[in-house]
Amino acid sequence: MDLRNLKLLVVQSTPFCNLDCSYCYLPDRINSKKMSTNLFREVCDFISSASHLPERLNIVWHAGEPTALGVDYYEEMLLVARDVFKEKTKICFGFQTNGTLITEKWCDFLIRSESIISFSIDGPGWYHDQRRKYRNGSGSFDASMHGLKLAQGSGLETPIISVISPSILQNPHEFLEFCAASGAKRFGLNIEEIEGAHKFSELYSSQTEFHYMNFIRTLAEKSRDMDISFREIDDARKSISSSGHIMNSEVEPFNIINIDYTGRISIFSPELITDTAFRAKYHLPNIHGSSLEEIVSNDVIQRLTSEVSQGVAKCKEDCRYFNHCGGGAPSNKFSETGRLDVSKTNYCGFKKRLLLNAVLEELEAFSEKA
């Protein structure tokens, strides 16, 4: 099997999270089990048996709070990965973290191991603390910012991903002030979505559409004069200026491989593997004792591939945004409809269609002024 196009190997070291955010998609976040070193070695052996690998293998520790396991755990995992892959590929660890457990020891490890870290912080304190809480109900903003500042003080790049919910939509300027003051340069804009264990989104309403468009337009306009960038706005601009035809890794078989702490494997959107309804419908195989070739030809993996590609075909048929989207996110299709072979969702309505419209409007207004 040729894995040259493998963009991400997403590994769940633990389902546990020290926070209890109200919009979290994970069903099992009080479970403190972890992937064993032996199983991680099996994961590495499994991937390294491919006929071809990318020059750099991005191993992202995800689907739980990875830093909850402490630095020593990942020191050991890095030794295992380097031992297995040797000269075959360069290993790059990535951590998406809430930042509350970041210490100087963590910063030292991240720098030494040339790992990438990204923080989940939603915006100004009052807004962040509405949803990103500890189990005792207190907000996590101060602890997250402490971790962010420690990382910045060590010289690490610190991109931030923020989740956009209705209560920030009428405060784009305050959101921009937070971005400028945070010291981060790159921001991702996720949305509060229906996904996995989170069954309802306050964002998905016709009343919020207007404010959402205005929020995105304002960010696009004002950030032109600031030293910050928004991933989704940059991507939309690039896509608009090149008339689309983007590559969507979430729908390409084996561009993303997801393995949970028990060795269960899935492909496509990383969020699928932790979705209990998805796991009940598709009995995912386990890498333990299986070869890569066996997993590639596994019936469930074949069925997933066929249904995801039917969904992409429907998108291509039904949607004028297809060239700018490439067929959406299978995890959101499944969470909203219980199926993969479908096209439009509330998620793509906000994250793709409204966002592209807002960015296009801002581009047109900017060109008229110029």
Binding site for ligand SF4 (CB under 6 A): 315, 319, 321-322, 325, 327-328, 343-344, 348, 352-353
Report the nearest approach of ligand SF4 to the CB of residue 353 (Å). Answer: 5
- Short-list 152, 155, 172, CA closest to 164: 172
Helices 206-222 and 355-369, interaxial angle, to 10°?
40
Using the minimum distance from each CB to ligand SF4, give the nearer residue, 64 or 328.
328
Helices 206-222 and 231-241, interaxial angle, to 10°?
80
Extract the tokens encoding 310: 């039917």
Using the minimum distance from each CB to ligand SF4, give the nearer residue, 111 or 313.
313
- Short-list 108, 121, 29, CA closest to 74: 108
Report the nearest approach of ligand SF4 to the CB of residue 107 (Å). Answer: 38
Report the nearest approach of ligand SF4 to the CB of residue 200 (Å). Answer: 20
Report the nearest approach of ligand SF4 to the CB of residue 321 (Å). Answer: 4
Triad 255, 258, 259: Cα angle to 5°: 145
Using the minimum distance from each CB to ligand SF4, give the nearer residue, 56 or 320.
320
Using the minimum distance from each CB to ligand SF4, give the nearer residue, 122 or 275.
275
Using the minimum distance from each CB to ligand SF4, give the nearer residue, 19 or 348.
348
Using the minimum distance from each CB to ligand SF4, give the nearer residue, 215 or 322.
322
- Short-list 102, 226, 236, CA closest to 175: 226
- Short-list 35, 33, 32, 15, CA closest to 80: 35
Report the nearest approach of ligand SF4 to the CB of residue 245 (Å). Answer: 12
Report the nearest approach of ligand SF4 to the CB of residue 336 (Å). Answer: 11
Q: How far is residue 180 from each of residues 99, 177, 199, 221, 284, measured CA to CA in Å?
A: 18, 5, 33, 15, 43
E-strand ranges in the chain read 8-11, 56-61, 90-97, 116-120, 160-164, 186-191, 229-230, 256-259, 265-267
160 phi, psi to nearest 5 deg: -125, 140
Report the nearest approach of ligand SF4 to the CB of residue 241 (Å). Answer: 18
Q: Distance between CA 89 and CA 98 in Å, rounded?
A: 29
Q: Distance between CA 108 and CA 91 in Å, rounded?
A: 17
Using the minimum distance from each CB to ligand SF4, give the nearer residue, 34 or 344.
344
Q: Which residue is nearest to ligand SF4 (CB)?
A: 328
Give Rg (Cα) of the chain.
Answer: 20
Report the nearest approach of ligand SF4 to the CB of residue 309 (Å). Answer: 13
Report the nearest approach of ligand SF4 to the CB of residue 316 (Å). Answer: 7
Report the nearest approach of ligand SF4 to the CB of residue 246 (Å). Answer: 10
Grouping H, G, I as helix, E, B as strand and the rest as coil, residue 7 is coil
Q: Distance between CA 39 and CA 262 in Å, rounded?
A: 8
List beta partners, residue 278: none
Using the minimum distance from each CB to ligand SF4, give the nearer residue, 150 or 246.
246
Using the minimum distance from each CB to ligand SF4, give the nearer residue, 115 or 343.
343
Using the minimum distance from each CB to ligand SF4, give the nearer residue, 106 or 322.
322
